Structure 1
Amino acid sequence: MNQPFLIVRPAMVADLNRLVELRAYLLDGTEAMYSSKTPEDSMRWRAAYRTWLSSHLNTSNCVHVLAAEHKETGEVLGCATAIIDQRAPAPGCLNGLSGWVQSVVVEPQWRNRGIARQLMQNLLRWFASCSVGSVVLQSTEAADKLYQTLGFATSDERLLIRQEASA
């Protein structure tokens, strides 16, 4: 359901600071393996993400970053990122185009109002328009129900991560 107070649009360079702050809800101060552990870690990922966004916003056919903007205030309330990877063909993805959803985040006081759903529906339409056959995401427990209603299923594959300390 589209929210009457909301516009979902491609993110712009002017949104950079807000996108970084929204992503911090996922990457700073959580128990997740990928979360920053020190203030220095936080500063490093923020700088690297800002650089990445600057080089990919509206310039890459394989990256689509959305902002959910309040129609009246212009405040960015949420965001979501879609990335297309070219992989080897597989039975469920014959063209090898695989989608990855990252950083679906909504400002805490605006959660449970359909904003993440609207962002995801827009990302899924974009993936479909790009002939992406398979879409993967990593979820939080709180978001599992949303993703399941959008057709995502828990995989029986194990996700193993090797993370370089200095990378």
Structure 2
Amino acid sequence: MEQSFYTVRPASTADLASLIELRAHLLDGTAASYASRTPEDSASWRAAYRAWLASKLGVADNVQILVAEHQESGQIIGCATGLIDQRAPAPGSLSGLSGWVQSVAVAPQWRHRGIARQLMQHLLRWFANRGVASVSLQSTEAAGTLYQALGFAVSNECLLIRQEASA
């Protein structure tokens, strides 16, 4: 879809509040295993995420945080994060570089206009330019079609999570 009304760009510290609110669509009030369950949970992840963003934006070469900015209003209407890990080499990744996509979120009133697709295409180019051959993500069922159209395949691996209570 044509992106005439928004621009995809790297996030800056000026975008912190918008990034937190967009991620809240994924972490607050959903049935996901990783979602906050109480107002205290929500306040805790928000504070921790703000600190994490502040430490990564513009400094970490292995992290790319993108935003979709509405051209007329300047409102941040979408975001996506890419992370690069160094793992042991494997057949699909001889360099050991492994990409992970998280926090792909679009404000509800702007969904189904190609924004998530554009954010993902930018992230996939970023990964490719850094020699990352394998990129993973965890998806909601609703977004699965988009990711499959971008070349992601459902894995036959079982995702197991061990989560300890926060200290």
Could you tell me which runs of 5 or more consecutive residues in structure 1 were left unpaired when the two chains were aligned: none
| Aligned position for 1:99 | 99
Which residues in structure 2 correspond to 1:57-96 (within 5 Å)?
57-96=57-96
Contact 1:2 1:118 in 2 (8 A): no
| Structure 1 counterpart of 2:103, one-letter code | S
Alignment of structure 1 residues 112-151 onto 2, 5 Å: 112-151=112-151
Contact preservation (8 Å) 1:13, 1:57: yes
Residues in 2 aligned to 1:130 and 1:16: alpha-carbon distance in whole angstroms: 25
**Partner secondary structure for residue 81 of structure 2:** strand
- Give distance in 1, aligned partners of 2:59 and 2:166: 28
TM-score under structure 2 normalisation? Answer: 0.99
Q: Distance in 2 between matches of 1:81 and 1:128?
A: 15
TM-superposed deviation, 1:2: 3.9
Separation in 1 of the partners of 2:47 and 2:2? Answer: 33
Tell me the amino acid that sits aligned with residue 29 of structure 1: G
1:141 alignment partner, SS class = coil
Which residue matches 1:28? 28
Determine the C-alpha separation between the residues in 2 that align with 1:123 and 1:8.
10
How far apart, CA to CA, are the structure 1 residues paired with 2:58 and 2:131? 19
Cα distance in 2 between the residues matched to 1:32 and 1:144? 15
Deviations along 1:85-106, one digit per CA (max 9) or x if unpaired, are 0000000000000000000000
Gaps of 5+ in 2: none
TM-score, structure 1 length as denominator?
0.99
Counterpart CA distance in 1 for 2:50 and 2:116 is 22
Q: How many residues align?
A: 167
| Mapped contact 1:101–1:135 kept (Cα < 8 A) | yes
Runs of 4+ with deviation above 4 angstroms: none
Is the 8 Å Cα contact of residues 11 and 66 (structure 1) preserved in structure 2? yes
Asked whether 1:160 is paired with 2:160, we answer: yes
Structure 1 residue 33: Cα displacement: 0.8
1-side partners of 2:58 and 2:166: how far apart? 29
Q: Percent identity?
A: 69
Residue 77 of structure 2 aligns to which amino acid in structure 1? L
